[in-house]
Amino acid sequence: MEMEMKPVVELKNLSKTIGKKKIIDDLNLALYPGQITGFLGPNGAGKTTTIRMMVGLMSPTSGDVIIEGKSLADDFEEGLSKVGVIVENPEMYKYMSGYKNLVHFGRMHKGVTKARIDEVVDQVGMQKRIHEKVSTYSLGMRQRLGLAQALLHRPKFLILDEPTNGLDPAGIREFRTYLRKIAETEGVSVFVSSHMLSEIELMCDRIAVIQNGKLIDIREMSAEQESHYYIEALPADAAKNLFVAEGFTVEPHKDGFIINVEKTRIPSLIQQLSAQDLQLYAVEPHRKTLEDQFLEMTGGGQIAEAHTE
């Protein structure tokens, strides 16, 4: 059970007020090893501010960030030594090889050996290209080098802010694979802030949703959702009456309805429809996308991400 695991990171009653405006309002969140948590929120909800506090670029008005048991307020260096950060476009020396970049960044941390550099190169699958100049790399390669760089000092906590902006679908998929592997094999806790819902859905084990500086929802992604089916049958009124009589919740969708029905009940439902001479056009499983869920949670709050918060 996840609850017995100790969280790698805890946000405790984290608040930030700038001027008279409460930007972050009493945020509490625990992040666990080996787990990828997505961080979502509409524009100006406070995602960037939260991340800045988590990496010590901004100090909270009240509350605390605790990393591996060390409070950033008390043990700043010690706490941050456990964190790896990947920003949107990692800073690289373009005229140097990927390897030399890693050597350079490795010097900023104690104990990054040549063997460790080779290990991270391996982890992100860059053995073939690591001795070429960064200027010859695609964006996807640079992102992977950024991931390697963030992992050099074996952080227990990895923060990614809009990690796959500008990557093509293959690059995103590749990045996701490496991230998942690292979370699982190294027991790293990963925190991904993104506005790409489809990507968060594939990448994360759970999501935390922030709106107006408050955490409004935390949910597991893999949790089996209630079974829904899209059914299209005519006449529509008669079909709807039948579903309601059977006790299903009915939502209009396209030319039919979405109802909460278990797969095992579908055959008998089809028989009932045909027994009443209804014309059946479609029966298909329907899964609410993260986008549907998000819009339900935030009441349609826009997700587009501004970088000024």
DSSP letter string over 169-197?
Answer: HHHHHHHHHHHHHHHHHH--EEEEE-S-H
Query: Rounded mean pLDDT of 266-295?
Result: 88
3-state secondary structure of 240: helix
Lowest mean pLDDT among 38-42, 247-251, 289-293: 289-293
pTM as predicted: 0.77
Q: What is the pLDDT of residues 233-247, one digit of tens each?
A: 999 999 999 999 999
pLDDT at 73 over 50: yes
Tokens (6 digits) for 204: 């994360």
Options 3.40.50.920, 3.40.50.300, 3.30.379.10, 3.30.420.10; CATH of 2-220: 3.40.50.300
CB–CB of 212/45 below 8 Å?
A: yes
Write down the mean pLDDT value for the chain. 87
CB–CB of 132/141 below 8 Å?
A: no
Q: What is the pLDDT of residues 33-50, one digit of tens each?
A: 999 999 998 878 899 899
Residue of 200, 159, 203 whose CA lies nearest to 181: 203
228-287: CATH architecture: 2-Layer Sandwich (3.30)
Using CA atoms, how far residue 178 sits from 39, 122, 143, 156, in Å, is: 19, 10, 11, 16
H-state helical runs in the chain = 47-54, 76-80, 98-106, 114-123, 139-151, 169-186, 197-203, 236-245, 266-275, 290-298
pLDDT of residue 118: 96
pLDDT at 252 over 50: yes
- Quote the percentage of the chain above a pLDDT of 70: 93
Instruction: Give the list of residues 6+ apart from residue 303 with CB closer than 8 angstroms, or none.
Output: 40, 41, 42, 43, 195, 197, 294
Per-domain residue ranges of the chain: 2-220, 228-287
- Per CATH, 2-220 and 228-287 having the same topology is answered no
Query: Rounded mean pLDDT of 11-35?
Result: 94
Rounded Cα distance between 242 and 230, Å, is 15
Lowest mean pLDDT among 52-56, 238-242, 266-270, 303-307: 303-307
What does DSSP assign to residue 2?
G
In which element (H, E) is residue 26 found? strand 21-31
Proportion of the chain in helix, strand, coil states, percent, rounded to 5? 35, 30, 35
Query: Rounded mean pLDDT of 211-219?
Result: 88
Tokens (6 digits) for 168: 């093509």
Assign 307 a pLDDT band (cuts: 50, 70, 90).
very low
Assign 308 a pLDDT band (cuts: 50, 70, 90).
very low
